[in-house]
Structure 1
Amino acid sequence: MVSEVFRLEGFGKILESWGLMDALLPFLLIFTLVFAVLEKSKILGEEKRNLNSAIALIMALIVVIPHLTGNLPAGYDPVLVINSALPSVSLVVVAIVALMIMIGVFAHEKIMLGATMPGWIAFISVILLIIIFGSAAGWWVSGFDEWLDSTFGSDALAVFIMVVVFGVIIAFVTGGEGEREKVGALKRMGFDFGKLFGK
Structure 2
Amino acid sequence: MAEESVFRTAIGFLDKLGVYDIILPFLLVFTLVFAILEKTKILGVEKVKDQEYTKKNINAMVAFVTAFLVIASTQLVAVINSVMANVVLLLVLSICFLMLVGSFYSDKEFSLENSPKWVKFLMVFMFIGIILIFLNALDWLETVFGAVFLLFTSLDAEWAATTLFLLIIIGFIWYVTHEPKRASKPEEGKK
TM-score (norm: length of structure 1):
0.54
Deviation string 1:132-184 (CA, Å, 9 cap, x unpaired) is 32343445559xxxxxxxxxxxxxxxxxxxxxxxxxxxxxxxxxxxxxxxxxx
Which residue type is aligned with residue 29 of structure 2? I
Give, in whole Å, the separation in 2 of the partners of 1:52 and 1:20: 24
Question: Could you tell me which residue of structure 2 aligns to residue 93 of structure 1?
Answer: 91
Bigger RCO of structures 1 and 2 (CA < 8 A, at least 6 apart): 2
Which residue, 58, 64, 88 being the options, matches 2:71?
A: 64
Residue correspondence of structure 1 range 14-163 to structure 2 within 5 A: 14-46=13-45, 47=53, 48-67=55-74, 77-107=75-105, 108-111=110-113, 119-139=120-140
Give, in whole Å, the separation in 1 of the partners of 2:102 and 2:89: 20
TM-score (norm: length of structure 2):
0.56
Cα distance change, pair 18–42 in 1 and its aligned pair in 2 (3 A): same
Give, in whole Å, the separation in 1 of the partners of 2:78 and 2:136: 27
Give, in whole Å, the separation in 2 of the partners of 1:23 and 1:198: 58
Deviation string 1:60-99 (CA, Å, 9 cap, x unpaired) is 01111344xxxxxxxxx20111122221221111101222
- Paired residues, number: 129
Cα distance change, pair 136–80 in 1 and its aligned pair in 2 (3 A): closer
SS of aligned partner of 1:106: coil
Give, in whole Å, the separation in 1 of the partners of 2:80 and 2:44: 30
Structure 2 segments unaligned to the other structure (5+ residues):
46-52, 144-177, 181-191
Give, in whole Å, the separation in 1 of the partners of 2:112 and 2:81: 40
Question: Could you tell me which residue of structure 1 aligns to residue 48 of structure 2?
Answer: none
Question: Could you tell me which residue of structure 2 aligns to residue 146 of structure 1?
Answer: none
Which residue type is aligned with residue 35 of structure 1? F
Which residue type is aligned with residue 93 of structure 1? L
Identity of aligned residues (%): 35
Give, in whole Å, the separation in 1 of the partners of 2:179 and 2:31: 58
Which residue type is aligned with residue 9 of structure 2? G
Cα distance change, pair 66–106 in 1 and its aligned pair in 2 (3 A): same
Contact 1:31 1:56 in 2 (8 A): yes
CA drift at 1:121: 4.2
Higher fraction of helix: 1
Bigger radius of gyration, 1 or 2? 2
